[in-house]
A and B are shown apart, each in its own frame.
Chain A
């Protein structure tokens, strides 16, 4: 059973369009992170949200953590080809003696010039 559902799985848009990617769960997370992974590379952290309802902006990217800390969204304004990549959300849960990150399966974004 997948703990974190990401949608859509694939998204192909034209340069300049806006888009939103969703990350949903029935579990409550103490924090949630968004990563971007480019081909041949490991994931790179974009942002961490900790407080329910929190909104963070990173240039054209806006991240929101749900009030109940079960879901999150990533909105990109005026997408550019450089935004192309696999976007992963990851929620922090407690597991035994250490907390772990549980990852969603990702959204593959392609921005066409």
Chain B
């Protein structure tokens, strides 16, 4: 049973809309992540937060704006998206930021986004 929840589970939006994705983790973790999963492409890391501070931004377009008000909550604000942004957006958390020693990431179920 995952301790990471995401809402909404499905979202359809137009290119001029503004919407937000929400992620909440109940595991007491300190690091949170946003990933994008597109068909036939590997998971792409978008943002990393450690103790509410953004530590990684993998050249993500500014139409994606993350927000981390506390260690348990993570948002992804969406504005003027493109059809190619349609994908599954996954949130994950880990006790500490990944350090190559095999830390476990726990993923939420994702938000399936369709941009028309």
Contacts and interface: CB of A to CB of B under 8 A. Distances in A.
B10 to A, nearest CB: 10
A25 to B, nearest CB: 12
A105 B40 contact: yes
A100 B105 CA distance: 11
B107 to A, nearest CB: 3
B72 interface: no
Interface in B21-49: 40-43, 45, 48
Contacts of B108: 42
A105 B42 CA distance: 4
| Chain A CB within 10 Å, residue with most, of B56, B97, B98, B110 | B98
A102 B42 contact: yes
Given A41-B109, A43-B107, A50 B102 contact: yes
A30 B98 CA distance: 11
Nearest to A43: B107
A42 B100 contact: no
Interface string B95-115: 001111110111111100000
Contacts of B92: 42
A88 interface: yes
A45 B105 contact: yes
A48 B56 contact: no
Interface in A6-62: 30-31, 33, 40-45, 48, 50
A38 to B, nearest CB: 10
Given A42-B90, A42-B110, A98-B50, A48 B43 contact: no
The 8 closest A-B pairs by CB, nearest first: A42-B107, A30-B100, A48-B102, A103-B43, A92-B100, A99-B100, A103-B42, A31-B102
Interface of A: 2, 4, 30-31, 33, 40-45, 48, 50, 88, 90, 92-106
